[in-house]
DNA sequence: GTCTATACATCGATAGAC
DNA sequence: GTCTATCGATGTATAGAC
């Protein structure tokens, strides 16, 4: 981590774990302090209050997630490769940090607009106008690579298919006792399934 | 609501609103009492503690959501109709109560297993063995109505596509200023888009 | 059943010594 | 920068009058 002192790093690290696990309201400053090996007073010395600390952690996590994702996208390639790559990257990223979904969903529906602003910022950093994948889809349509459809709708569909297994993993692993969501074989199969479904549905 | 006294009803109603909006940890018993027009003591008289009240509300909401959904499914029809019907019902249900997604996701990832148990119970009530849609897909494959594929994977895909727009609605309406997720036209278009994507991808 | 009053714990945040 | 001690607010929960 750059730009942080040793103590700040320890705090951020501890706060990330606790906020991801318990959420903003469920998290306790006391617990964060303990896990960081310091005391509450020092938390406030560095981050002033809980809201602030949470924002810092949230911003870092979201940026980290999407930076990796979008930087893998920017290179110009054939749309089939772009699609394949997007699905693979998204699933791999989610498998690394599945807790981030709940984190983001909570913040989104809080209605603060904080996440939306953050995303806009990240889009700009990567020189996208709005949603990266939607732009690529538009391109592919205009050059006749795929059939004409609503790029936004397709983007929703692809992301939805990628995200859902991670949202539902605890139930799914219970209902289907032999399904291990985080296993290499499942992830590979999932990637193929999404790609096939989409490509069958949109290719000319 | 059946089986509740007038006061219990008022409490459940108020608690539902507050829990859906602020979550289990963010909700305050004081606020629930005020909205119900009673005092804190009476909350504990009827529901003993916060955890209990939250469970009650959660169970009621989940049952209400899936009961409506599954009872619309049980009748035997051609798979194309079943699929169409499932997508339509799911989207309509979500449009009615979008807050339930966050509610459920939070509970799922809490790892208590409460939601999984609840779902199993609901499946049984409707005489399904595991996941309703997955069973219908298996049938359709075995009679050669659709191509052979993993029913669980397809189920994930369909639900993911239905749910995602509601998860992301606040950002989407910001990024695409002209997109009104809850408008009749958007919902209709979304249903068609999902059905077409799936049907193109699986029909023989 | 419903209220007021209050016990008791714990929270986020701060003051002040070092 | 880091600590101890503590404040004031607020949280859940209960006791006891009506």
Q: What is the pLDDT of residues A100-154, one digit of tens each?
A: 999 999 999 998 999 999 999 999 999 998 889 999 999 999 999 999 999 999 9
Arithmetic mean of pLDDT, B188-204: 94
The C-alpha atoms of residue B81 and residue A187 are separated, in whole angstroms, by 30
**Chain C nucleotides reached by a protein CB under 7 Å:** 1-6, 10-16
* Among A109, A95, A108, A102, CA closest to A167: A102
The C-alpha atoms of residue B71 and residue B29 are separated, in whole angstroms, by 35
Question: Quick check: is A53 in a domain?
Answer: no
Q: Are residues A40 and A69 located together in one domain of the fold?
A: no
SS3 at position B203 = strand
Q: Does residue B6 have a pLDDT over 90? A: yes
**Range of the structural domain that residue B164 is part of:** 58-202
Q: Does residue B76 have a pLDDT over 90? A: no
Nearest to B156 among A152, A156, A165 (CB): A165
SS3 at position A72 = coil
Question: Quick check: is A108 in a domain?
Answer: yes
Confidence of residue A175 (pLDDT cuts 50, 70, 90): confident
Question: Quick check: is A122 in a domain?
Answer: yes
Q: Does residue B1 have a pLDDT over 80? A: no
State what percent of residues in chain A have pLDDT above 70: 100
Which of residues 72 to 101 on A have a Cβ less than 7 angstroms from any strand D atom?
Answer: none
Q: Are residues A40 and A74 located together in one domain of the fold?
A: no
Cβ atoms of B123 and A171 within 8 Å: the answer is no
Q: Does residue B50 have a pLDDT over 90? A: yes
Through-space separation of residue A11 CA and nucleotide C16 C1' in angstroms: 23
* Among B143, B147, B62, B73, CA closest to B102: B62
Task: Please provide the DSSP assignment of B39-85 as one string.
Answer: -HHHHHHHHSSHHHHHHHHHHHHHHHHHHHHHHTT-S---HHHHHHH
Which residue intervals of B72-129 are DSSP H helices?
79-96, 99-110, 114-125
Q: Are residues A69 and A37 located together in one domain of the fold?
A: no
- Pairs from A32-36 (Cβ < 8 Å, separation ≥ 24): A36/A10, A36/A11
Q: Are residues A73 and A169 located together in one domain of the fold?
A: yes
User: H-helix or E-strand containing A108?
Assistant: helix A99-110
CA distance A19 to chain B (A): 13
Confidence of residue B172 (pLDDT cuts 50, 70, 90): confident
Q: Identify the pLDDT of residue A74.
A: 77
Question: Quick check: is B135 in a domain?
Answer: yes
Asked if A131's CB is within 8 angstroms of B109's CB, the reply is no
Nearest residue for C14, CA–C1': A41
Q: Is the CB of A45 under 7 A from strand D?
A: yes
Residues of B in contact with A194 (CB under 8 A): 157
Residues of A in contact with B167 (CB under 8 A): 105, 108-109, 163
CA distance A84 to chain B (A): 16
Strand partners, A203: A146
C-alpha angle A179/B135/B110, rounded to 5°? Answer: 45
Largest Cα separation within chain B, whole Å, is 62
Q: Identify the pLDDT of residue A139.
A: 95
Q: Are residues A92 and A188 located together in one domain of the fold?
A: yes
The C-alpha atoms of residue A67 and residue A76 are separated, in whole angstroms, by 17
Residues of A in contact with B183 (CB under 8 A): none
Q: Are residues A86 and A43 located together in one domain of the fold?
A: no
The C-alpha atoms of residue A85 and residue A77 are separated, in whole angstroms, by 10
DSSP state of B146: B
Q: How many separate domains does chain B show?
A: 2
Q: Are residues A25 and A105 located together in one domain of the fold?
A: no
| Residue pLDDT, tens place only, B110-153 | 989 999 999 999 999 999 988 899 999 999 999 999 999 999 99
Q: Are residues A30 and A67 located together in one domain of the fold?
A: no
Residues of B in contact with A170 (CB under 8 A): 108-109, 111, 113, 115-116
Question: How far is the first Cα of chain A from the last one, in angstroms, to the nearest whole number?
Answer: 46
| Residue pLDDT, tens place only, A22-70 | 999 999 999 999 999 999 999 999 999 999 999 999 999 999 999 999 9
Q: Identify the pLDDT of residue A28.
A: 98
Confidence of residue A1 (pLDDT cuts 50, 70, 90): confident
Q: Does residue A17 have a pLDDT over 80? A: yes
Question: Quick check: is B53 in a domain?
Answer: no
Q: Does residue A172 have a pLDDT over 80? A: yes
Q: Are residues B38 and B77 located together in one domain of the fold?
A: no
């Amino acid at each position: 981590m750059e730009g942080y002192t040793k103590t700040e790093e320890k705090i951020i690290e501890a706060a990330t774990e606790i906020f991801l696990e318990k959420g903003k309201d469920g998290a306790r400053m006391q617990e964060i302090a303990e896990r960081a090996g310091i005391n509450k007073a020092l938390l406030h010395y560095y981050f002033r209050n809980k809201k602030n600390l949470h924002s810092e952690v949230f911003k870092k996590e979201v940026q980290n997630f999407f930076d990796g994702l979008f930087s893998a996208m920017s290179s110009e390639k054939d749309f089939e490769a772009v699609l394949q790559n997007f699905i693979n990257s998204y699933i791999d990223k989610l498998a690394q940090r599945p807790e981030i979904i709940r984190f983001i969903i909570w913040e989104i529906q809080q209605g603060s607009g904080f996440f939306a602003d953050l995303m806009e910022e990240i889009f700009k950093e990567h020189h996208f106008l709005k949603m990266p994948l939607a732009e690529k889809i538009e391109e592919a349509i205009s050059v006749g690579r795929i059939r004409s459809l609503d790029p936004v709708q397709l983007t929703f569909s692809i992301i939805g298919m990628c995200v859902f297994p991670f949202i539902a993993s605890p139930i799914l692993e219970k209902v289907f006792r032999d399904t291990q969501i985080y296993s290499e074989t499942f992830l590979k199969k999932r990637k193929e399934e999404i790609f096939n479904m989409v490509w069958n549905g949109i290719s000319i």
